[in-house]
Structure 1
Amino acid sequence: MSSSRREMLEYFSHHCFKKLFDAISKKYRSLGRVGGAVKLNGFSPGERDVLSGFLGRDCRENAVISVKLREVEDILRQSRFDIALPEFLSLYFSSEILPNKEVALLEGRKWFAFFAGLQEQALTPVTRGWLAELSGGGGAGYRAVLTMYRQNELEAAEILKTCVEAMDRLVQFQGRRQRLPVFAAGLTGDPHALDGDRPLGRLLFFGLHHMYRLSETEYGAERRKVLFSQAGLEEDDVSSNVIVAGLQVRPGDPREPVFTAAAAAVSPLLLPLRFLERPTMWLPARVYVMENPAVFSAILDSAGDGSDIPALVCTSGQPSVAALKLLDQLAEAGCTMCYGGDFDPRGLEIGRRLAERYGASFKPWFFDTAAYLQAPKGISLAPEQVKKLAGRQVSWDSKLVETMLRVGRAVYQEVLVERMIKDFRYRFPGSHL
Structure 2
Amino acid sequence: MTTADATTVTEPASGEATLRRPELFPLWQTVHGRLSSGRPVTRVRLGPLNESQREALADLLGLDRLPDPRPSIALARLEEAVTELSGRTVREVVAALVGPVGDRAGERRRQDDARAGLWTWLAGHDTVRAQPVLADWAASCRAAGLVGGSTERTRTLLADALNVLAELPGQAEPLPVFAARVLNGHAHALDDGTPLSTLVLRALATLYDTAPPQSAEERRALWTRAGVADDELSATVVAGGLRPAGDGLLARVARLCTEAGQAASLTLAHVRNPGELTLPAAPAPPVVHVVENPSILALALRRFGPDCPPLVCTSGWPNSAAIQLLRILVDRGADLRYHGDFDGEGIRIAAYVLDKTGAHPWRMTAADYRAAVVCNAHGPQPGRITGAPWDPELAEAMAEHSTAVVQELVADVLLEDLAAMAQQERLSGRL
Q: TM-score, normalised by structure 1?
A: 0.48
Q: Which has the higher contact order (CA 8 A, sep 6+)?
A: 2
Whose radius of gyration is greater, 1 or 2?
2
Q: TM-score, normalised by structure 2?
A: 0.48
